Structure 1
Amino acid sequence: MRPTPFLRNAIGRGGVASAALKERVRRPAYLKRLAQPEDLAPLFKHDDYIGWSGFTGVGYPKAVPTAIADHVEANNLQADPATKKKFNLFVGASVGPEVEDRWAKMDMIARRYPHQVGREIAKGINEGRIEFADKHLSMFPQDLTYGYYSLKKNHGDPRKPLDWAIVEATAITEDGHIVPGASVGATPEIVQSAERIIIEVNTLVPSLEGLHDINHSFVPPNRQPYVVTHPQDRIGRTAIPIDPDRVVAIVESQHPDNTGQNAPENEESRAIASHLIEFLSSEVASGRLPPSLLPLQSGIGNVANSIIGGLADGPFEQVQVWTEVLQDTFIQFFDSGKLAFATATSIKFSPEGFEHFYKNWDRYKDRLLLRSQQVANSPELIRRLGVIAMNTPLEVDIVRILFSEFV
């Protein structure tokens, strides 16, 4: 892609690459595209379609989205309808509130797909300022590549539904491919669908190269089955392949993920965990489940944390996990020796959990795999593997459940 004069000027002010950045970026040509976030911010136009990496507040871009908000705020752009900027935002799941909620509070989001978490973005949706539609997280990447979300888009390459992809990486390979951080989410499909790509290389966190299993997302009639029969099966690459010509800039970032503390266990959540372990034990004793159980899926929150913590002290050995998000108690589960392997699309540890994980990388790297959300949430795979799904409901209709027993 031929850069515009403004883009060439922005890249020209990128400065000198740090030693850490040179070590992480193994394609030297990319270093010539080094830019500062504030110089890229004016490039984003009203009604642009923008995709971000990230899933459950992990692995999302921080520097460029913050610079865009700073630019809008410093120039008071939202005060005048003639200069106001609102963007169409596509992310695999939630990201950090310091970027997304700030954009929502500043009325910078016109549309948001397919998932949201945050007070300000929920407020914008409820007030009708933000168009929003929920979607099964395995279907969103597929629909994005099909062009479903770009029916209203009347500019740019019709074969590329997104004008921009802004993604975080922990390293870049010799081929120019992206090594993600602690989440994959919909990043492979977002970069596949974008005309222009900006990569934030986060040198604050270690390179997680080797932790990922990335498969290409084809569209019909060329879609392929996911040939997975066990959670540890690899079906793809360790980095996200991209066309280097679409990478218009790279930015060095040193911002941590804003994960905060995981929801703590309490007496009620520990009781639920105890009952569940008792139930699973009875299923094993009756011969309906193998001694190592079937692959487990766990949601997020204090109940999920308690359940996994309970399993670390439980009677089951060589357990495998096929889930969406790993929380801190999975470290305890690994360290107990009872968790043989886990696959997910995101790791949402607390800051202390990440510190422990990075410090003991060699202990975990061969027992864990991060996949795209399209694979991690695939209904066909979940059914075929016999995944035991454990999630926390908001509401349960006891009357309907009891009535169904008699009809």
Structure 2
Amino acid sequence: MNERISHVGLRDKVRTAEEAAELIHHGDVVGFSGFTGAAYPKALPTAIAERAKAAHARGDDFAIDLYTGASTAPDCDGVLAEADAIRFRMPYQSDPTMRSKINGGSLLYADVHLSHSARQIATGVYGDIDVAVVEVTRITEDGHLIPSSGVGNNVEILDKAKKIIVEVNAWQSLELEGMADIYRVRSKVPIPITDTGDRIGATYIDIDVNKVVAVVETDAPDRNSPFTPIDECSQQIASNFLGFLEGEVEAGRLAYDQFCMQSGVGNVPNAVMAGLLDSKFENIKAYTEVIQDGMLDLIDAGKMTVASATSFSLSPDAAEVMNEKAAHYRKYIITRPLHVSNHPEVIRRMDLISSNGMIEADIYGNINSTNVTGTRVMNGIGGSGDFTRNAIASTFISPSTAKGGAISAIVPFASHIDHTEHDAMVIITEYGIADLRGLAPAERAKRVIKVAHPEYRPLLEEYVERALKGKNVHTPHDLSTALSFHQRFEETGSMKP
């Protein structure tokens, strides 16, 4: 580890995870690194969870408030949630155990726009952070931290922390050094990025080394899940999305060498990127949150020239490739603080086309990204709002149904609204493209219903006919049946009559 812990003074602070966990106490506010299953602490979460279990067995209280960049992994969020070691969590999570605790009411959760989370941490909205626990690939001779597979909210968390624990992970490639572009956002100072590939900061995070109370050595992989094979539905959605891009070219709003993209995480976005491999689009750029498998494929094919993000979200196989070829990929990839990658100012400047998933859309274009039937949180809004509101064209892509057809992704009225009709511009399913730009609500309804599953279209059309009998028909609604799809699902397990 000498080549990874080059600061002589910090070598003397090497501790076991169990020893470091003793420095975290009940009621502490703790900031973790981590974003979409990458760059999260690998050893401290389990050690903290074991400490919580022992305290609970004695009849003592032990729970922390936890802030991260976004989701982590089962061996981080999962083990802590299982041990009832977390009182409060923000700004995003995706762990099944944690989700169950949140929905059951035993764990408090604030679902926050990711760009807001960075600023709110930095400005002290949440108060001081007692302990920051951050994974790095190396500590330099000067005590600077070289980020591992993501940056997230690390800068803000480290700056606000009273104490710092650094996990140095030997699994992360040393050749990641040079990929990061660390810049601190300052109030009323413009961020000087005018092109996706602009570098404006340092390759390291500078910290007050006197705040470091422990350094923990680890050697463990990021635990991202493999992507499932691209199915026929995902392929069709990807084809429709590419059709939308072709339409933008025909309309003169886009050129084949001007496409800048933002993409959410998952199999459908990877299907879109697979489709781009064989498309006419060249010189593709990405200003986004995460680097995904499909982006590496586009880089390898010479189709993507630069990708800016805050973290990786790679399958295990792609993560191994990244480790082997990090020196190559850092020519094309820039990892930035979340406060920069998701900043509305820069997103608006990039003229990008955003693409995100959804739980449901209503017939007027309101989008629910977070809560099934309005009450059961899935993951969170993440950065989708940051990009949707500021993209030159915002799209939501999703299969038209879920749960084997029992749930329609198109409903009369969204049971929870994360993105309003004013921000969502295009909805794409396997059945087509609903471009809602420049349309009045009643016009939007006709287009949205066309991309619903054929089994649900008659029900949606009947709803509109009923709603049009009301007194006010600018945005026709029949309030007595607006949530009838959701009520049927709650009562019978299906939205179908």
Shorter-chain TM range is: 0.7 to 0.9
Aligned partner of 2:181 among 193, 202, 213:
213
Name the CA shift for 1:405/1:295 in 2 (closer, same or farther; >3 Å): farther
Aligned partner of 2:25 among 40, 45, 67:
45
Q: Output the CA distance in 2 between the equivalents of 1:399 and 1:32.
A: 61
More off after superposition, 168-177 vs 352-361: 352-361
Alpha-carbon offset, residue 197 of structure 1:
0.3
Higher relative contact order (Cα pairs below 8 Å, separated by 6+ residues)? 1
Alpha-carbon offset, residue 287 of structure 1:
2.0
Alpha-carbon offset, residue 310 of structure 1:
0.7
SS at the partner of 1:47?
coil
- Structure having the higher Rg: 2
Aligned partner of 2:140 among 173, 177, 187:
173
Write the deviation string for residues 101-135 of structure 1: whole angstroms up to 9, x where unpaired: 22112111111111121122122222222221111
Q: Output the CA distance in 1 between the equivalents of 2:52 and 2:357.
A: 39
SS at the partner of 1:102?
helix
Match of 2:482 in 1: none
Write the deviation string for residues 250-276 of structure 1: whole angstroms up to 9, x where unpaired: 111111111120243111111111122
Match of 1:94 in 2: 71
Match of 1:188 in 2: 155
SS at the partner of 2:335?
strand
Gaps of 5+ in 2: 366-435, 444-473, 475-497
The answer as to whether partners of 1:263 and 1:301 remain within 8 angstroms in 2 is no
Q: Output the CA distance in 1 between the equivalents of 2:150 and 2:237.
A: 29
1:189 alignment partner AA? E
Match of 1:245 in 2: 210
Aligned length: 371
Alpha-carbon offset, residue 79 of structure 1:
3.5
Name the CA shift for 1:320/1:399 in 2 (closer, same or farther; >3 Å): closer
Q: Output the CA distance in 1 between the equivalents of 2:107 and 2:64.
A: 10
1:203 alignment partner AA? A
Q: Percent identity?
A: 39
Write the deviation string for residues 137-183 of structure 1: whole angstroms up to 9, x where unpaired: 01101101211112xxxxxxxxxx11100000001122211111111
Write the deviation string for residues 169-211 of structure 1: whole angstroms up to 9, x where unpaired: 0011222111111111101111011000010000122121000
1:135 alignment partner AA? V
Write the deviation string for residues 67-94 of structure 1: whole angstroms up to 9, x where unpaired: 1222333x3x11354x220101011101
SS at the partner of 2:193?
coil
Match of 1:293 in 2: 258
Match of 1:357 in 2: 322
Alpha-carbon offset, residue 405 of structure 1:
5.5
Q: Output the CA distance in 1 between the equivalents of 2:51 and 2:260.
A: 47
**TM-score (norm: length of structure 1):** 0.87
Superposition misfits of 4+ residues, deviation over 4 angstroms:
399-403
Write the deviation string for residues 48-77 of structure 1: whole angstroms up to 9, x where unpaired: 11000000110000112211222333x3x1
Matches within 5 A, 1:14-25: 21-25=1-5
**TM-score (norm: length of structure 2):** 0.72
Gaps of 5+ in 1: 1-20, 151-160
Write the deviation string for residues 325-384 of structure 1: whole angstroms up to 9, x where unpaired: 121111211111111111111111112111222222333211110011111111121112
Match of 1:4 in 2: none
The answer as to whether partners of 2:32 and 2:134 remain within 8 angstroms in 1 is yes
Matched, 1:29 2:9: yes
Q: Output the CA distance in 1 between the equivalents of 2:87 and 2:360.
A: 31
Alpha-carbon offset, residue 34 of structure 1:
0.9
SS at the partner of 1:59?
coil
Name the CA shift for 1:263/1:227 in 2 (closer, same or farther; >3 Å): farther
The answer as to whether partners of 1:189 and 1:217 remain within 8 angstroms in 2 is no
